[in-house]
Amino acid sequence: MIMRPPGHSGKAKKGHICFDASFETGNLGRVDLISEFEYDLFIRPDTCNPRLRLWFNFTVDNVKAEQRVVFNIVNISKSTNLFRNGMTPLVKSSSRSRWQRIPRGQVFYYKSAQHQNHYVLSFAFSFDREEDVYQFALTYPYSYSRYLAHLDNLCGSKLTCTKRETLATSVQKRKIELITINSNLDEAQDRSRKVVVVLARIHPGESPSSFVCQGLMDFLVSSHPIAQVLRNYVVFKIVPMLNPDGVFLGNYRSTVMGADLNRSWNKISEWLHPALMAVKPLLKNLDKNSRTPLDCVLDLHAHMNATGIFVYGNTYDDVYRYERHIVLPKLLAQHAEDYEIGNTMYNQDPHKAGTARRYLCSILKEHVNCYSIEVSMYGYNRKATPGIFPYTEEAYYRLGRNLARVFMEYYKLMGVIPAGLPDQPSSKRTRQSRPRYRVLRDPRPKNSRKPAPIHLASIHE
Ligand SMILES: [Zn+2]
């Protein structure tokens, strides 16, 4: 959609900005031209769920060099969010493919008298390259195509430790895949193993959960000693994208039918919730198997109102069951520098009866622990440094790797994995550095490694 000044007709001139969101995960519903420099932008509500408006992701082109604009996102539905804590939108451009955060000094989140006192997110931006297409997003997008491409990569090589199957198809016939990661033990080595199920992306706007899930999967199939040991003692069953239609459409929480799947586990309909309809019997069957029993279900989410990584768990009247339940989060607290104990919560909240972690613990055996793992859409607090430190894509991948380390420690503590394994100490952490183990997938093209930065400071010049 090209925005021309009032009265202008004929061919659009440079500077008559063209907005587009008609691509996978795109979301922008309407644009109003307020003045030469200012635009009001409306998020397209979730399909069949007009109350939900948060995820945005759109491109802008046909700009003039040095053109300065103010974009006001005027219809965010969740007014209490991390923009109040200094979160800023992301931007990249066609010649600079790495996402960058718009500097805080250019972003304002406030109650606007011009918009019936609604909260408005305004950001000022100066376009520095006329030929570039710029893209703005709430947080790092992770599309349906990217998910399929990653799984092709993960399972496409000669690896024998992965198995891929299509668990279900969504209402719009997209694939809900199940990946199993474990080593194929020969008869002599055969032993009872625990099963861990990981679910992700039930809420499409919570794209960081896909990065965490990918970080976990890439680590588990790698040649790292911890991964090798885990594959021998634990079977990982991973459903990386439970709501592919919502992801494709650029929704925040809903499916194409407007359903919030993580409020629907206790009222599953075959027609409305094919993903849940497939995952529930999978879990029930795993739970029946006494040789490789289901032990843990993690449901990965991202949070728009809190920092760091944290856990939502359950409370139980049986104090021993509760004490067993809080062991894994305690280990996560020890292994993730970004863990926020203050955000961790255990409850039996009746509102949350339809969530995976509440419902599944009521239908599975007592020893099975179910948790929601939440990671901030923005950043985390570091002990020695004041302020919030924004997450990058790499930091989300790292979080996934940390989850694997936590399982290692957990199953050692539980006596499932013998003490002393693996040979290399797990404390050798390579935080922020490239992993030293081999991730078995195609290398990224060299030219995408270090794109030049967008000249973000120019708005102040
Ligand atoms: Zn969620």
Burial 168-203 (b: 16+ CB within 10 A, else e): bebbeebbbbbbebbbeeeeeeeeebbbbbbbbbbb
Dump pLDDT digits (tens) for 164-218. Answer: 999 999 999 999 999 999 998 776 677 789 999 999 999 999 999 999 999 999 9
The answer to whether 185 and 291 are in contact (CB under 8 A) is no
* Distance between Cα 304 and ligand 1 center (Å): 9
Q: What pLDDT score was predicted for residue 426?
A: 45
Residues of the chain above pLDDT 70, percent = 91
Q: What pLDDT score was predicted for residue 385?
A: 87
Calculate mean pLDDT across residues 279-294: 95
* Distance between Cα 195 and ligand 1 center (Å): 23
Rg of the Cα trace of the chain? 23
Closest CA to 92 of 422, 393, 361, 364: 393
Averaged pLDDT of the chain: 91
Q: Is the alpha carbon torsion for 294, 296, 297, 298 positive or negative?
A: negative
How sure is the predictor about 19, in pLDDT bands with cuts at 50, 70 and 90? very high
Residues forming the active site:
374
* Distance between Cα 160 and ligand 1 center (Å): 32
Dump pLDDT digits (tens) for 40-71. Answer: 999 999 999 999 999 999 999 999 999 999 99
370, HSE (Cβ side, Cα atoms, 13 Å)? 21
Residue 141's Cβ-count burial label (10 Å; 0-12, 13-18, 19+) is buried
* Distance between Cα 411 and ligand 1 center (Å): 27
Same topology for domains 18-137 and 144-414, yes or no? no
The secondary structure of 277-337 as a DSSP string is: HHHHHHHHHHHH-SSS-EEEEEEEEEESS--SEEEEEE--SSHHHHHHHTHHHHHHHHH-T
Q: What pLDDT score was predicted for residue 13?
A: 87
How sure is the predictor about 459, in pLDDT bands with cuts at 50, 70 and 90? very low
Q: How many other CB atoms sit within 10 Å of the CB of residue 379?
A: 21
Task: Return residues with CB closer than 5 A to ligand 1 (ion).
Answer: 203, 206, 301
Which residue ranges make up each domain of the chain?
Answer: 18-137, 144-414
Tokens of 92: 């990249």
* Distance between Cα 303 and ligand 1 center (Å): 7
Answer with the residue of higher pLDDT: 9 or 250: 250
* Distance between Cα 214 and ligand 1 center (Å): 17
Does the pLDDT of residue 438 top 50, yes or no?
yes
How sure is the predictor about 350, in pLDDT bands with cuts at 50, 70 and 90? confident
Closest CA to 93 of 445, 453, 459, 394: 453
Closest CA to 151 of 140, 141, 165, 171: 165
C-alpha to C-alpha distances, 437 to 31, 156, 276, nearest whole angstrom: 47, 19, 35
Q: What pLDDT score was predicted for residue 431?
A: 47
Total residues found in the chain within this entry:
461
The answer to whether 56 and 83 are in contact (CB under 8 A) is no
The Cα 371–Cα 390 span in angstroms is 24
**One-letter amino acid of 266:** N
How sure is the predictor about 423, in pLDDT bands with cuts at 50, 70 and 90? low
* Distance between Cα 82 and ligand 1 center (Å): 15
The Cα 32–Cα 38 span in angstroms is 9
Q: Is the alpha carbon torsion for 207, 212, 215, 219 positive or negative?
A: negative
Residue 130's Cβ-count burial label (10 Å; 0-12, 13-18, 19+) is middle
Q: What pLDDT score was predicted for residue 214?
A: 98
* Distance between Cα 202 and ligand 1 center (Å): 7
**One-letter amino acid of 102:** I
Domain 18-137: which CATH number of 2.130.10.10, 3.20.20.70, 1.20.120.160, 2.60.40.3120: 2.60.40.3120
Q: What pLDDT score was predicted for residue 436?
A: 56
Q: What pLDDT score was predicted for residue 9?
A: 80
* Distance between Cα 317 and ligand 1 center (Å): 26
The Cα 196–Cα 399 span in angstroms is 17
Domain 144-414: which CATH number of 3.40.630.10, 3.40.640.10, 3.40.50.300, 1.10.274.50: 3.40.630.10
The answer to whether 197 and 128 are in contact (CB under 8 A) is no
Please name the residues in contact with 440: beta carbons below 8 A apart, sequence gap of 6 or more: 154, 157, 159, 221, 222, 223
Strands in 317-461 per DSSP E: 345-347, 369-376, 379-381, 388-390
* Distance between Cα 250 and ligand 1 center (Å): 15
Does the pLDDT of residue 417 top 70, yes or no?
yes
Dump pLDDT digits (tens) for 354-399. Answer: 999 999 999 999 999 999 999 999 999 988 888 999 999 999 999 9
* Distance between Cα 28 and ligand 1 center (Å): 21
Q: What pLDDT score was predicted for residue 28?
A: 97
How sure is the predictor about 441, in pLDDT bands with cuts at 50, 70 and 90? low
Alpha-helical regions (H) of 21-115: none
Dump pLDDT digits (tens) for 223-240. Answer: 999 999 999 999 999 999
Calculate mean pLDDT across residues 248-255: 98
The answer to whether 298 and 199 are in contact (CB under 8 A) is yes
How sure is the predictor about 454, in pLDDT bands with cuts at 50, 70 and 90? low
* Distance between Cα 371 and ligand 1 center (Å): 12
The answer to whether 302 and 207 are in contact (CB under 8 A) is yes
